[in-house]
Amino acid sequence: MNINSNFGSYNNFNPFLSLNRPSSSMSSSMYNLLSSTYGVNNAVRTMFQTSSAIRTAGESMNSLLRDLTRTGSSSLFNQIGGVSENNKVATASVDGSKVNNSELKPFEINVGQVATTQMNSGSGVAIGGKAVSSGQYRFEVQVGNIRRELNINVAMSDDNDAIQRKMVSAINNANLGVTASINYDTPNKRQTLQVASATTGTRNDGGPVFSIRDTMGNLAGQMGITNVSREAQNAIYSINGGERQFSNTNRIDMGNGVTVNLQGEGTTSIDFQRNGSAAVDKVKELVGMMNAAMVTASNSMDRGSMRLFNDVFQMTKAYSGALGRIGIDVSSAGVLTIDNDRLNAAANSGTLEDMFQGDRMGFANRLDRISSNMRSSNFYADSVDVRQQQSDPRHYDKYAAISMLFDMYF
C-alpha cells in the first residue's frame, strides 16, 4: 500500500510520501527499541501527548536553554570545582554562589586522623541461636544528659535475629542521636548488634558520647552493646604545613565557598579548575527532551505532531557535525545518543560552551525557536480531533511513523 493513498492531508511531509506502510509488529518493536535505547521515560514521553502538554514540554526545554545560554558569573560554564591529587585522603567541592574565583589558590592538606563515631558492639551471637531466655528486659541508653530506658519482650519463638531486630527498632525509634544496626557474618554464622553515635567527634569533656547499661536482666550485655568497641575521635589536619587543627567533623569549611571532605590519613594537594558537570547534566536533560519529542511525535499521525517531528529532525541533521564534536551523535533517524567521555571533554575544553554561547544564530537559537513554537497555543496544535482520527480510515497505528522513518534510512 503506498503511503500517498492513506496519508491524506499529511502529504506536505515529503520524506514520507513514497514509503510503504510497515507492519504493526515491526513498528511496535522499533518504537520499543527507541524508547528503551535512548532513555525516553514514560513521564517525559507523556508530556508530548496533548497540545497542552507540548506547551509544558516547550517551557521545560526553554528553561534548560536559558540555563545553558546564561553568561557571566552565573554561567554554568564558569563553575569551578576542586580537584584532589589523592581522593582517598581528601576531596574538595566549591559553592559557586559563594566563591570568588580570583581568590582560589591551590593548597596542600595533611590528614593525621579522620573524625569517627563511637561504636558499641561485641563479638556477636550465633545466627539461629538464642543468647537469652524469654522474658522482659530493660536497658538504658544515655546520650549526654538525656537518658531513656527501653523495654524488650523476648518471646518463646524469638531467636537472636528476632531479638536484635526488636532492639534495633527500639533504639532507633527513641531518636536519641545513636543508630543501631545488625552486621551479619554469614560464613562464620555470627551476627553482631552495633550501636553508633549519629555524628562524629568527641565530647568536650572527653567522656564517651553515649553509654548503654542493663537495668533489668542482661540483654544489652549479652548482645555486646554495653562495650565500647571504637571510641569517637576528632579529625586532625594541617594546611600547607601549618599548625595542627582539630575538627569534630570531616567536613571542613575553608571559606570562600570551598569545602574539604577528609577521607583518610595522608597528604594530598587540592587544585581548582573549571567544572562542567552542571552544564553536562543540563545537556543530558535537553537531549532526553529532544529524543522524547522525536519518539512521541513519530508515535502520532496528527498534523501538529508531524510538524514537530519534522522540525526537530531537520535541526538535528543540520547540526549533526557540531553535535558530534561535543559528544552527541545523531543517528540516521535523527535520534541523539551521548558519549559521556566526549561530552565531559567538550565541557572541560570549552567546546560545549561555544555550542550554546558562541554562535548566537546557531544550534541554540534554532532549538529556542522550536521550544517557543511548542509553547505557542496553536503552532503544534493537532488540527484533527483525535476521536475523528481514530474513526478515519486514513488513521495509522501508533507506531507507524517510527517504522516509516527506519524504512527510509535503514
Pick the range with the lowest mean pLDDT from 2-11, 64-73, 100-109, 194-203.
2-11
Provide the pLDDT for residue 391.
Answer: 43
Pick the range with the lowest mean pLDDT from 2-11, 127-136, 156-165, 284-293.
2-11
291 close to 336: Cβ distance less than 8 angstroms: yes
Q: Tell me the pLDDT band of 76, cut-offs 50, 70 and 90.
A: confident
Q: Tell me the pLDDT band of 309, cut-offs 50, 70 and 90.
A: confident
Pick the range with the lowest mean pLDDT from 48-62, 79-93, 150-164, 337-351.
48-62
For residue 48, give every residue at least 6 positions away whose Cβ sits within 8 Å of its Cβ, in sequence order, or none: 54, 57, 292, 293, 296, 297, 305, 308
Provide the pLDDT for residue 34.
Answer: 46
| Greater pLDDT, 172 or 206 | 172
Over range 170-198, report the average pLDDT.
97
Provide the pLDDT for residue 389.
Answer: 43
> Which residue has cell 572541560?
348
Domains with residue ranges and CATH for the chain? 3-73+278-409 (no CATH), 80-115+234-275 (no CATH), 119-230 (2.60.40)
Provide the pLDDT for residue 379.
Answer: 66
Q: Tell me the pLDDT band of 327, cut-offs 50, 70 and 90.
A: very high
Nearest to 34 by CA among 286, 359, 401, 345: 401
pLDDT tens sequence across 254-298:
988 899 999 999 999 999 887 778 889 999 999 988 887 777 677
- Helix (H) or strand (E) segment spanning residue 135: strand 135-143
Q: Tell me the pLDDT band of 228, cut-offs 50, 70 and 90.
A: very high
Provide the pLDDT for residue 42.
Answer: 52
Name the grid cell of 169. Answer: 527498632
Range from 49-63, 309-323, 372-386 that averages highest in pLDDT = 309-323
pLDDT tens sequence across 94-146:
887 776 666 788 999 999 999 999 999 999 999 999 999 999 999 999 999 99
Provide the pLDDT for residue 291.
Answer: 84
pLDDT tens sequence across 186-219:
999 999 999 999 999 999 888 899 999 999 999 9
Q: What's the distance, CA 376 to chain centroid?
A: 31
Helices (H), 213-362: 219-222, 277-298, 303-318, 320-325, 340-349, 351-353
Over range 159-170, report the average pLDDT.
98
Nearest to 371 by CA among 6, 48, 39, 70: 48
- Is 90 exceeded by the pLDDT of residue 173? yes
Sign for the pseudo-dihedral over CA of 316, 322, 328, 331: positive
Q: Tell me the pLDDT band of 170, cut-offs 50, 70 and 90.
A: very high
Q: Which residues of 53-87 are buried (b: 16+ CB within 10 A; e: fewer)?
A: ebbebbebbbebbebbbeeeeebbbbbbbbebebe
Give me the percent of the chain exceeding a pLDDT of 90.
49
Provide the pLDDT for residue 386.
Answer: 40
Nearest to 358 by CA among 369, 346, 344, 371: 346
Q: What does pLDDT average to over the chain? A: 80
| Greater pLDDT, 384 or 87 | 87
Provide the pLDDT for residue 127.
Answer: 97
Secondary structure class of 283 (helix, strand, coil): helix
Pick the range with the lowest mean pLDDT from 30-34, 135-139, 305-309.
30-34
- Is 60 exceeded by the pLDDT of residue 161? yes
Provide the pLDDT for residue 381.
Answer: 59
Over range 239-259, report the average pLDDT.
94
Pick the range with the lowest mean pLDDT from 38-47, 81-90, 119-128, 306-315.
38-47
Provide the pLDDT for residue 52.
Answer: 64
